[in-house]
Amino acid sequence: MFYRDQLFIDGQWSAPDSGDAIDVISPHSQEVIGRAALATAADVDRAVRAARSAFDEGPWPGMQPADRVAAINRLAELYKERRGDMAALITAEIGAPISFAKRAQVGIPQLMFAAFAGLASGYDWQESRPGLYGNDIRINKQPVGVVAAVVPWNMPQFLTVCKIVPALLAGCCVVLKPAPESILDAQLLADIVAQADLPQGVFNVVPGERAVGESLVSHPGVDKVSFTGSTAAGRQVAVACAQGLKQVSLELGGKSAAIVLDDADPAKVAGAIQSASLANSGQVCNALSRILVPADRQDEFVEALAAGMESMTVGDPTDPATQVGPLVAQRQQYRVRGYIETGLAEGARMVVGGAEMPDGLDRGWYVRPTLFDHADNTMRIAREEIFGPVLTVIPYTDEEEAVAIANDSDYGLAGSVFTADTDRGVAVADRIRTGTFGVNQGYTMDPFAPFGGVKASGYGRELGREGIDGYTGTKSIAVAGEKA
């Protein structure tokens, strides 16, 4: 049992405003594995005031960038020491296979510390340029202020590090709101931050349900909101930020297309789709869930995809051999099963999978990896974000139609093209309206490349230099030049 009855606010663990707590339930065993305190609106207010004081009166924003980089490097070393514990917690609380948790949920965030520190070291915090009227124009990049970082449960450490590390490097102070499903890893992160000896109030954690997020996003002491979550929730966040004239970045849902061109190899495509579409049981915002294949080769690609999906090991997420674990919660299991039933009702053909429990499992919130074909882009399974291990194959007649189908979506987060001709793939990538795109791979979130979406997938960018830009404000100072 993991138990924590306190909140990390203003640099220390302290009692919450109320005795509200949540049981953390294993998605695999359906047993209670932990219990943790939840924040209230009063706790949110206390955390924001602590961050506000740290920003307005503390040393962190005024430090030299190199000193903040050094502090983040110390934090990174402490994080590295606890990566095994962190991966185990994530597997326990959300059911991510331990191999995936070690590699992507924790391993990549660990690399991001160093990547962001390097970007901050080479960042142009100050610039000078000549003005039209003879003035010396000095451009300063300054921290935007107090940041509310709201992260979902599916990739908790990955998404948390994407937000808090560039924000801290920019000189901001942060209030993190983790999801209740992934509360344990956020608490471990707070323990690590406490050991890193950052100034008091620079980092605070207020776990809770939706009401806590609403209190945080609407708090007048918050200057910037960085939100990752559903499109429906993102719209509400955008409205709240507009009312408070806060800066906001939104990384929302996706229904990304994999465009398989007529010269692609079925076996290679099937292998790439396994990792790009079914990682974390398909609970990834940029998963490739629409597979567009040439109609005259549809059977070849469907056969390869089906064989690959049937070969995947589904089961206990603590087993290193497991490739597909349970979904995070029973509500998610019901939701995904509902989409499988919808696909059948719409007339799509279920090639593999189904709503039944996987073989050998009698408990846990599992869904079989499921593949549909004989589908078209008007079906709900092709248009709505399912957030589970369900893929839909859609045939096309030529490249023009493939591009049109890929673009015919409310979302625009990611996508990929598979082809034997890289130049042809890049040309297709240029025509797809998404924020990110991969050629012969599922889109990989590289720490040096900006990530984000368009349309209903949100706006703003994380990662790369742009990931630091989002936490800075630009001030220009005009200094009168000497008269002739």
Annotated catalytic residue 251: yes
Annotated catalytic residue 162: no
Distance (Å, whole) CA 476 – CA 133: 15
Residue of 251, 385, 399, 462 with catalytic role: 251
Token readout for 197 is 């000896």
Distance (Å, whole) CA 45 – CA 47: 5
Summary count for the chain: helices (H), strands (E): 16, 23
Burial of 92 (0-12, 13-18, 19+ CB in 10 A): buried
User: Which parts of 187-232 are beta strand (E)?
Assistant: 203-205, 224-228
Closest by CA to 391, choosing from 302, 314, 457, is 302
CA dihedral 114→452→225→77, nearest 10 degrees, is -10
Distance (Å, whole) CA 379 – CA 395: 13
From residue 202, alpha-carbon distances to 77, 133, 186 in Å are 19, 41, 15
From residue 42, alpha-carbon distances to 16, 47, 216, 385 in Å are 9, 9, 10, 34
Residue of 285, 385, 399, 462 with catalytic role: 285
Exposure string (b/e) for 441-469, b if CB count within 10 Å is 16 or more? ebbebebeebbbbebbbbbbbbbbbbbbb
User: Residue 453 carries which DSSP code?
Assistant: -
Instruction: Determine how many CB atoms are found less than 10 A away from the CB of residue 57.
Output: 9
DSSP codes joined into one string, 3-60? EE--EEETTEEE--SS--EEEEE-TTT--EEEEEE---HHHHHHHHHHHHHHHHHSST
Q: Would you please indicate which residues are annotated as catalytic (active-site) residues? A: 251, 285
